[in-house]
A and B are shown apart, each in its own frame.
Chain A
Amino acid sequence: MKITLFIPCFVERVAPKTGIAMAEVLERLGHEVEYPEKQTCCGQPAFNSGYWKEARSTAEHFLDVFNPAEIIVAPSGSCTAMVKSGFGELFKGTDRETEAAELGGRTHEFSDFLVNILKTVDLGARFPGRVTFHDGCHSLREIGVKTPPRDLLSWVKELELVEMEGADRCCGFGGTFSVKHPDISTAMGKAKCANIAATKADFVVSNDPSCLIQVRSVIERNGLAIKALHLAEVLASR
């Protein structure tokens, strides 16, 4: 298959290794992977803040860039959800409504793509360590991804997977919420880290880079002995 990479802005400039890892996994499965250089952003920050005209402007550029792609895969549930359902709100009643809907149908979150489209769970990965998984809210509730990441992790050699309490509770990032309401956001992040720490896991893994930014920031500030990693990085490990 020819797979087009959707690299969200947080991955582009904060965690580029996540994107590389995802591409590696897909290439190892024998697929051709390409990266459209002109991509910038899906428009989620503007959309969530209520600036829909501006969000639509950004989203139009996204449509232009990704239109030719057959399959689009992103290492992010929230960005995928933006394309799959946020675009529906933005383009409702416009002449790009159908185009946006069709593009949404061709866009997939990484773990969802592996398990439900490629029907693959064993990637031959090896990652020694005790790992707990955090569900990104949009992956979970917008796209309905709960078991695929866990299925994938269960096949990783030497990896011990433990469930934390409240794995599906929000980490507190919420995009602009994290800077508009930093106290609430931080408190939620701390509660999440407390749940992670209670599992005695060495690693917390998620399929959403923004959640990882939040969790990592709390971990670092509080000197906790946990590392935060993206699912793709674990799956690319040999």
Chain B
Amino acid sequence: MTRNAVEFRKSSEKSSLDGKQQGLLAKAVGIYLGKRDSGRKRFRDWEGARRQAEAIKTEALENLDMYLSRFIEKVKERGGTVFCAEDESSARDYIANLAVERGVKSVVKSKSMTTEEIHLNGALENKGIKVLETDLGEFIVQLLGQTPYHIVFPAVHLSKGEVSDLFHEKLGSEKTDDIEGLTMIAREHLRKEYCKADMGISGANFAVAETGMISITENEGNARLTMGLPKIHVAVVGIEKILPRMADLALFLQVLPTMGTGHWMSCYNTLVGGPRAKDEIDGPEEFHVVLLDNGRSKLLADKESREALRCIRCGGCLNVCPVYQTVGGHSYGTVYPGPIGAVLTPLLRGLKQWGHLSYASSLCEACTEICPVRIGLHKRLLSNRRNYADKYGPLAEKLGFKVFAFVSRRPLLWRMAGALASAGQFLYPLVGWFPGNPVKGWTKGRTLPHITWKSFRNMWADRGGKSI
């Protein structure tokens, strides 16, 4: 097992027993599911809308060179600067160097999974630049020194008491269990920071090729402030975020929140296309778009798996995944947790190091069912497994399945194996301690199923059933 796999195992074992976290997650999920169901019903044809979303994103991906080219051209036309980062370090370097060159002392950030992906905060802090997360959930986990627990709800695993203690410790505020009060503490603290910051960094939910504008979806208003107030705005955007046309947003801006948070429309959907125009009152003087590749173009070449690039990061699959709800976001050890994380991380960051995530699923297909852009998530888990087993399958497992296949083609052998298992099961307590026993984990919390001596075949014969 790779180190990541070992850490995942340890972490998920621990989380599986963490009733408190599971309780908080379960509560969040319960609220979400109700909203999601009524959100879907608002659509006159939800399944049709999903198919449209799938078709448009597929069109974008399969013509990505053309649409990206157009996007870049339009951004430049409007006075923006574009940098295409092949990997996370060149993205980091570009932004850090820019900040240093411009004498940036403090940065405010709105929620961006791509900036997590490139580990940006640390790089800026190393240059002596203060970095402040402004999304409430992100702000909280930043104070805690943790990574986000969920793509859309970064602090879903914390109780109000924990937040109150945290604010008391780090901000010097009075302890309170009034959630509105806690929110206002964060609001007050961050207000001043927006006005002082030299640079605002955001991600983007969509990048519109037709007009060279990025679209950012949020509920709090911190992204509007992050993008509107500081002198420099930097947006880090995955290359797969491209949408062909402005008008396509009429579909996506409603589909995204329905699955992500259960709202029919998020509070603020902002389109930004460049620094302030000449006739405008305010806004940044500089606008930089960092287009992030970091493995995406390689995935694009994989025809079977490229559909995973349709992801619009709504968080819906996390919300319905029973595995995610059991182990939580941190166990995965990745930027993207949950089903999409289990699919994408091996594809973007390497099958050998991360393939084990694709196995951490019962393949219940709830994710596929909910995905607004119809990614066959469980199918991608299966194809990841196939590719992983092919290259890195443990020898014992490979041999085991070869034997399985051999025996399964020979009914007599198969029956004998069944009879052996039945006869031998009484010996299990004696051999169960055997290291590497695959069934050992089962018995920690469950009884072993009983293997009957009389098989169906025997019972059928006894009853005079017709056999062929």
Pull 9 A–B residue pairs with CB atoms less than 8 Å apart, ordered by A: A13-B422, A13-B451, A46-B405, A49-B389, A51-B398, A57-B408, A89-B379, A170-B322, A188-B326
Q: A54-B405, A177-B359 are in contact. Are A186 and B446 (CB under 8 A)?
A: yes
Q: Identify B16's interface contact among A20, A178, A186, CB under 8 A.
A: A186
B457: A residues at CB distance < 8 A? 12, 35, 37
Cβ–Cβ < 8 Å partners of A43 in chain B: 405, 408
Chain B proximity mask over A49-68: 1 for CB below 8 Å, otherwise 0: 11111110110110000000
Q: CA of A78 to CA of B50 in the docked complex: distance in angstroms?
A: 26
Q: Is the CB of A137 within 8 A of B363?
A: yes
Contact A40 B409 (CB under 8 A): yes
Report B42-69 residues with CB < 8 Å from chain A CB.
none
Q: Footprint of A on B, CB under 8 Å?
A: 9, 12-13, 16-17, 22, 322-323, 326-327, 359-366, 368-369, 379, 382, 384-390, 393, 397-398, 401-402, 404-405, 407-409, 411, 414, 418, 421-422, 438-439, 441-442, 444-452, 454-460, 463, 465-468
Say yes or no: A49 contacts B364, CB within 8 Å: no
Q: Which chain B residue shows the least CB distance to A189?
A: B446
Q: A-side binding surface: helix, strand, loop or mixed?
A: helix
Please name the residue on chain A nearest to B323 by beta carbon: A184
B interface: dominant SS? helix
A226 within 8 A of B: no
Which residue from chain B places its CB closest to the CB of A174 in the assembled complex? B362
Set of chain A residues within 8 Å of B438, measured between Cβ atoms? 179
B445 pairs with A37, CB closer than 8 A: no
In the complex formed, the residue of B with least CB distance to A2 is B466
Q: Contacts A37-B411, A172-B322, A188-B322 given: A217-B405 contact, CB under 8 Å?
A: no
B360 touches A16 (CB 8 A): no
Distance (Å) between the CB of A162 and the closest chain B CB? Answer: 19
Q: Which residues of A contact B447 (CB under 8 A)?
A: 216-217, 220-221
Residue ID in chain A nearest B368 by CB atoms: A141
Q: Contact: B363 with A177, CB < 8 Å?
A: yes
Flag whether A48 is at the interface (Cβ < 8 A).
yes
Q: Which residue of B is nearest A53, CB measured? A: B405
Compute how far the CA of A228 lies from the CA of B299 in the bound complex, rounded to whole angstroms: 44
- Contact of A1 with B by CB under 8 A: no
Scoring A13, A46, A60, A213 by chain B CB atoms within 10 A of each residue's CB, the highest score goes to A13
CB-nearest residue of chain B to A209: B449
Contacts of B384 in A (CB 8 A): 50
Give A contacts to B, CB under 8 Å: 4, 7, 11-14, 16-17, 19-20, 23, 32-41, 43, 45-55, 57-58, 60-61, 89, 137-138, 141-142, 168-170, 172-175, 177-191, 213-214, 216-218, 220-221
Give the residue name and chain of the B residue nearest to A216 (CB).
Answer: B449
| Chain B positions within 8 Å of A138 at CB level | 365
Say whether B322 contacts A221, CB under 8 Å: no
Contact A14 B449, beta carbon cutoff 8 Å: yes
For the complex formed, measure the closest distance between the CB of B398 and the CB atoms of chain A, giving whole angstroms: 7
Chain B residues closer than 8 Å to A39, beta-carbon distance? 411
- Give A10 Cβ to nearest chain B Cβ, in Å: 8
**Known contacts A14-B451, A50-B390, A174-B364: A183-B12 contact under CB 8 Å:** yes
Complex contacts, B444 vs chain A, CB 8 Å = 182-183, 186
Q: Which residues of A contact B459 (CB under 8 A)?
A: 16-17, 19-20
Contact present for A16 and B452 (CB under 8 Å): yes
- A contact residues around B456 at 8 Å (CB): 7, 11-13, 16, 19-20, 35
A51 touches B389 (CB 8 A): yes
Contact A170 B408 (CB under 8 A): no
The 8 Å CB contact of A16, one of B359, B362, B441, B455, is B455
B397 CB, nearest partner CB in chain A, Å: 7
Which chain A residues lie closer than 8 Å to B468 at the CB level? 4, 34-37
